[in-house]
Amino acid sequence: MTTRSFLRRFVLPALAGAALALPGAMPGHAQEVRIRDLTVGRAEIPVRLMGYGLVVGLEGSGDRTVGRAGGGQTVRSVANLLRRFDVEVPEELLRTRNVAAVLVTAEVSPYLRPGGRFEVHVSSVGDAASLRGGMLWVAPLVPGPGQAPLATAQGPLILSGTDSPYRGTGEGLGVETTGRIPNGGILEIPLPRAEFGVDPALVLRRPDLGTATRIADVVNQALGEGTAQVEDPGSVTLTLAPEDVGRTLMEIGELSVVPDRERRILIDSRDGLVVAGGELTVGSAVVSHGGLTLSIGDGEPSGVGGDVRVPTGTQVQDVASALHAVGTPPASVAAIFESLEAVGALTARVVVR
């Protein structure tokens, strides 16, 4: 049995869950993640496609332009579409309330082959009130302006957020001028071939020096010292036998590590959603925003009118619940947490979307 076969048969399975034993590993309750879920190959740069199209079948909620007087990109597009079928209709007689002009965007893997399908996103560029119930007419997709089409997209739209059975009634919900079409795109022309296995490396989806170091340690323990080396916080270079790169990369991807996790709080300023990783707490501070005052310090918790009080060390989710309980608007919730971060009462990065 060769050394590499021995490593694959006995060492790799044993190391698949051994990341916690490494120096600097995180506490035992931290979650192990496969390397393949943390990294991509150096050549795996997604190809972005874009296009212009028409969403048809709307119920009077399309672009409200009328003839030439309304600006006309939708009218001209419809006229051009009909002309392809040898149907001539004067633009001034067309009405487009059931049609909307849209931009179509997508990202595809560089390894996708003709016939492969992918998701596309659609956004109105006219004055349509809603794309609900519409279907995207066949739209060519190009990698850049002036380039030849590589794919096409079509199909019925699913509106982002508004078609969910869990749709709420919070402020900002109900935007119906964007949508997506799962598997609505189809690649028709081969993409430029990506160089798989040439200069192999693991590129971190979220660059972090601690995570990169742990990945290199696990790979070196599994395949031998010197196989992996940290190039920078976003990349781990690999030294692999060229005749077996694919299988070795697959086996490396199945190894597990405990990544460093940035302490962050994600806030949606449209609906007030607050997501905090781990048991994040807040320190002493007072924030006044509009008619609301949030006091974090000694004393009993309370929430009356515009006065919210919580003790020092309260978890972020409990602060968010207290703010929601007094009807704080989502944008104000975001501004309050940003202020808490600015004064040092939060030791996490606040991300507002």
What is the model's pLDDT at position 97?
A: 83
What pLDDT does residue 174 have?
A: 55
Can you give the pLDDT at residue 221?
93
pLDDT at 98: 86
What is the predicted pLDDT for the residue at 67?
A: 45
**Structure pTM?**
0.64
Q: Reduce the secondary structure of the chain to three states and give it as a string.
A: CCHHHHHHHHHHHHHCCCHHHCCCCCCCCCCCEEHHHHEEECCCCCEEEEEEEEEECCCCCCCCCEHHHHCCHHHHHHHHHHHHCCCCCCHHHCECCCEEEEEEEEEECCCCCCCCEEEEEEEECCCCCCCCCCEEEEEEEECCCCCCCCEEEEEECEECCCCCCCCCCCCCCCCCCEEEEEEEEEECCCCCCCCCCCCCEEEECCCCHHHHHHHHHHHHHHHCCCCEEEEECCEEEECCCHHHHHHHHHHHHHCEECCCCCCEEEECCCCCCEEECCCCECCCEEEEECCEEEEECCCCCEEECCEEEECCCCEHHHHHHHHHHCCCCHHHHHHHHHHHHHCCCCCCEEEEC
C-alpha–C-alpha distance, residues 16 and 35, integer Å: 10
The pLDDT, as a whole number, for residue 176 is 87
pLDDT of 189 reads 93
pLDDT in 10s for each residue of the chain, 353 residues = 443 444 445 444 444 444 333 343 344 456 788 999 999 888 788 999 999 999 998 988 888 765 444 447 777 777 777 777 666 666 665 667 888 889 999 999 999 999 999 999 999 988 888 999 999 999 999 998 889 999 999 999 998 654 444 344 444 445 689 999 999 999 999 988 777 767 788 999 989 999 999 999 999 999 989 899 999 999 999 988 877 888 888 999 999 998 877 788 888 877 778 888 767 888 888 888 878 888 888 766 666 667 888 888 888 888 888 888 888 888 888 888 888 888 888 888 888 88
Tokens of 303: 């929430």
Written as six digits, the tokens of 8 are 């694959």
- Note the pLDDT of residue 327: 84
